[in-house]
Amino acid sequence: MHHFHYRDGTLHAEAVPLTTIAEAVGTPCYVYSSATLTRHVRAFADAFADLDARICFAMKANGNKAVLRLVTGLGAGVDVVSGGELALALAAGAPADRIVFSGVGKTEAELGAALQAGVHQINVESEPELEALDAVAQHLGVRAPVAIRVNPDVDAATHAKITTGKAENKFGIEWTSARAVFRRARTMDGIALKGVALHIGSQILDLAPFEAAFLRVRDLVALLRADGVAVERLDLGGGLGVPYHAGDETPPPPTAYAEVVRRTVGDLGCALTIEPGRAIAGNAGVLLSRVIYLKEGITRAFAIVDAAMNDLMRPALYDAWHDIRPVRAPSAGTETRLLDVVGPVCESGDTFARDRTLPPLVAGDLVAFMTAGAYGAVMANQYNGRPLVPEVLVDGDRFHVVRRRPSLDDLAALEDLPPWLLREWP
């Protein structure tokens, strides 16, 4: 469910016409709906209400400060994966004791920053990381609250680039050595061992892989407890998918996901954490763009838009599908045509859609790439000298630019010429 709908023939974000935002902010820009974000956080909170569970929004999906502020204001915590995300979350006002720090390659500096901030939990992914954290914590005179991330070796049945819980993936501690690592962690003075973490992948549309992974963890908890390891917490990761293909994909709702959690690990007496990212932010955002040219090729027709692969990487990177909606609804009876929707970047991979059935777009038309609120703006870059796209948050009938468009001066602001190149041209 989201809040981008046609009203009087124009696509709106909540009560704001996207045409108004395009005029005020320019295109391309990301537009987020507060109502959709709120609805999704509440849907998870309600689904897990009878369980001792904390929702930590995976900010890698959308790290905008205003989004974090909104989500944490609703009681959620944050899952961070770098010192940068930690700093952004704290700057957005996220309480440190609601922050979980995940990631396969945390540096000693990042671990130290997390301990100094007083985060709720650090999810350790390897023995060398455990040793490093132990040393950093002892140096700071604290004990690090740790969950050990295990790799349950289950197939999440999702895109190969976003599956994380198979033995061949780099994530988590290999299943067969998990027990020994827990036993070792228990002896370390800088480590306060709290529990087990896992995350099997992203855009998962079937509950079976979750069920299989959670049952494996259940078995592990029993073995650990038999070894005398206290397991107080379970962090189940994120991964619940969203419908990119309207009408074609029906991801399970948070209630069904919560039911699997309840059935598999609900009776273990553990405090639970879940880390949804995409399911909260995905369809809470669109990328708004304008058609620059319509180019009739010999074999195909191209709608060349002002957004590109650097602004929304998912189609180029994962062949991902995003629905494309014209902002002005076509009048009844308008014939559709097949169009390739492409950006201005100098690569053929800069293609949002091939042979997409669309109304006959013309230069100047606005289009919205749907379900772009997760892994959209956060993955953008400046390739081809294209400044990062601004972000706009809508709330009812008001909107605010929550990340401004950089100026052309900003584009090169971090660059510097070495003195030996400063001489005059010969």
Instruction: Tell me which residues touch ligand LLP (CB under 6 A).
Output: 58, 60-61, 79, 102, 162, 199, 202-203, 237-240, 275-279, 314, 318, 375
Is 270 a known active-site residue?
Answer: no
Query: By C-beta, is 190 or 277 nearer to ligand LLP?
Result: 277
Query: By C-beta, is 51 or 135 nearer to ligand LLP?
Result: 51
The annotated binding site for pyridoxal 5'-phosphate is made up of: 239, 275-278, 375
Smallest distance from ligand LLP to CB 242, Å: 9
Query: By C-beta, is 210 or 375 nearer to ligand LLP?
Result: 375
Query: By C-beta, is 152 or 359 nearer to ligand LLP?
Result: 152
3-class secondary structure for the chain? Answer: CCCEEEECCEEEECCEEHHHHHHHHCCCEEEEEHHHHHHHHHHHHHHCCCCCEEEEEECCCCCCHHHHHHHHHCCCEEEECCHHHHHHHHHCCCCHHHEEECCCCCCHHHHHHHHHHCCCEEEECCHHHHHHHHHHHHHHCCCEEEEEEEECCCCCCCCHHHECCCCCCCCCEEHHHHHHHHHHHHCCCCEEEEEEECCCECCECCCHHHHHHHHHHHHHHHHHHHCCCCCCEEECCCCECCCCCCCCCCCCCHHHHHHHHHHHHCCCCCEEEECCCHHHHHHHEEEEEEEEEEEECCCCEEEEECCCCCCCCHHHHHCCCCCEEECECCCCCCCCEEEEEECCCCCCCCEEEEEEEECCCCCCCEEEECCCCCCCHHHCCCHHHCCCCCEEEEECCEEEEEECCCCHHHHCCCCCCCHHHCCCCC
29, 56, 270, 346: the active-site residue: 346
The annotated binding site is made up of: 239, 275-278, 314, 318, 347, 375
Query: By C-beta, is 302 or 318 nearer to ligand LLP?
Result: 318
Smallest distance from ligand LLP to CB 156, Å: 10
Smallest distance from ligand LLP to CB 374, Å: 6
Enumerate the active-site residues. 346
